[in-house]
Every structure is written in C-alpha cells, then in structure tokens.
Amino acid sequence: MTYQTILFELSEGIARLTLNRPERLNSFNAAMHAEVQDALAALQRDTSARVLVITGAGRGFCAGQDLSDRLVAPGGAPPDLGPSIERGYKPLILALRRLPLPVIAAVNGVAAGAGANIALACDLVIAARSATFIQAFSKIGLVPDSGGTWILPRLLGPARALGLALLGEKLPAEQAAQWGLIWRCVEDGQLTAEVDTLARHLAAAPTRGLARTKQAMLEGWGRTLAEQLDVERDYQQELGHSADYAEGVAAFMEKRVPHFTGR
C-alpha cells in the first residue's frame, strides 16, 4: 500500500509511524484510518519490529477526527458516526493495545479529541512541554471516544476525568505528567533525542517479555487478584522457555551486558 497520509518506516527494530496531514493538525480521515491500520497490520506480521514510535508531522500530534468530513449541509442528513467508530477508531485502539511490542507516543504538539486518546492508548507517552491534551468532544456535543471514557477515570479518578471530559480544557503536558496520565514531559528541543534513546533501549530489550507485561497489565484491570496471579504464572511459564530469558540469566551470571533477540 502506498501511503498518502502517514509516513512509515522500520529500521533496526524501530518502527516509526508519523501522522502526516500537518495542514489539518494530522486529523483523521478515512484514508488515514486505512493507512494506519495497514501499517499496524504489517507490524503484527513483521517479527523484526521491536518497538513502535507514533508521532505527528508539523506542530501538532493529532486533532482527532477531520471535522471537515462531518459538516452537514442545511437540510442534509446527519452523518452516521457509529460505523466510523466501528471501522476506524475502535480497531485502531485495539490494535495499539494488542501489538506485541511496546508503543511510544511522541506527542510533539496538541493532541485533541480522538488524537488525545490515541496517544493515551500507547504504552509510553512522552510529550513536549508545549504539547497539550484536550478532550475536545464536549465542545461539539460528543462523548470522549477512542477509549477516553475507559482510560481517563482509570488513570486519573473520576474528578479529574470528568473535569477534562466535561470542560474540554487544555491539559498542559507538564500537568499531564504530574497527574500520572503520561510517562514524561520533556523540553521541546529534547523530545526527538529522548524518544530515540528510549526507542533504541526498547529495541534491544526482551520483546516477548515486554509484550506479555503490557498484556498482563492492560488486561488485568478486569480480573481478580487470584485470576491475575494465574495469568502471571502462565506468562512466566511461557517466558521461561524463551531465548531472551536464557540470555538474561546467563548475562547476569557472567556479569556482561545481555544481547536480547526478542525471541
């Protein structure tokens, strides 16, 4: 597939996906949905990928749905948003959550509407100090989608989650980090370097273990402690047979740096 709305590359275990409609703050249209889904499906198949970095081109990360596709002419029929969610945002969020490798959101600027919640669906969110997160949905009569109503109360508690969702105010990156909504806020000029360092670190890490860690934590919210202990047992049983576990133990005992292959 030739991409018109994203940039996508995979090199040395690091996949980089850049939302690339800067003139519309990288908002999503149908083509971008199809292209992002295609890229994520390619990553599912490509075992050389060890980490994914998602960012935005230009001054924004993503402004959610492209609203120019939603303008209703006077007397025209309102759009059916259900199919758009079902075919676009829902599979996108689930694909990010299910990708068996760590996903970094490098939030270079404003992340609004679904754009904010796509960032929050990533495993590690690093934002530039000038970036903001906006649950813009309330400004146009919608509900936070792309997992917003699920993740915000879990990460922030109901008071802050409802404040953000009902008011649609800008949450600065630094406050998002202080509230525990994102991993880190860094100086604007440091974002690329910090993300590169983190991506290189993760690309050399034991990928299968990280994938199971992500899965256990994300799926654990719906389980009892006893059920979760069973899941941990099963994952340890599986990972105990991995090449990376053998390498990790050997490297520790030999007092050397491990060389993980992601297998």
Q: Which listed residue (136, 165, 171, 177) binds ligand T3D by CB under 6 A?
A: 136
81 binds ligand T3D (CB under 6 A): yes
Compare residues 22 and 248 and give the one whose CB is closer to ligand T3D: 22
* DSSP per residue, 183-199: SEEE-GGGHHHHHHHHH
Report the b/e string of 138-172 with b at 16+ CB within 10 A: beeeeebbbbbbbbbeeebeeebbeebbeebeebb
The 95-124 contact track toward ligand T3D, x by CB under 6 A, reads: ---------------x-xxx----------
Helices and strands in the chain, H and E counts: 11, 10
Compare residues 8 and 137 and give the one whose CB is closer to ligand T3D: 137
The 209-238 contact track toward ligand T3D, x by CB under 6 A, reads: ------------------------------
- Range 142-151 contact pairs with CB under 8 angstroms and sequence separation of 24 or more: 142/81, 144/117, 145/85, 145/89, 145/114, 145/117, 146/64, 146/89, 146/92, 146/93, 146/114, 146/117, 146/118, 146/121, 147/93, 147/117, 147/120, 147/121, 148/116, 148/117, 148/120, 151/117, 151/120, 151/121
Compare residues 10 and 85 and give the one whose CB is closer to ligand T3D: 85
- Considering CB under 6 A, how many residues would be counted as binding ligand T3D? 24
Compare residues 31 and 42 and give the one whose CB is closer to ligand T3D: 31
Compare residues 67 and 217 and give the one whose CB is closer to ligand T3D: 67
Q: Which listed residue (67, 94, 143, 250) binds ligand T3D by CB under 6 A?
A: 67
Q: Which residues bind ligand T3D (CB under 6 A)?
A: 24-25, 27, 63-68, 70, 81, 84-85, 110, 112-114, 134, 136-137, 139-140, 142, 145
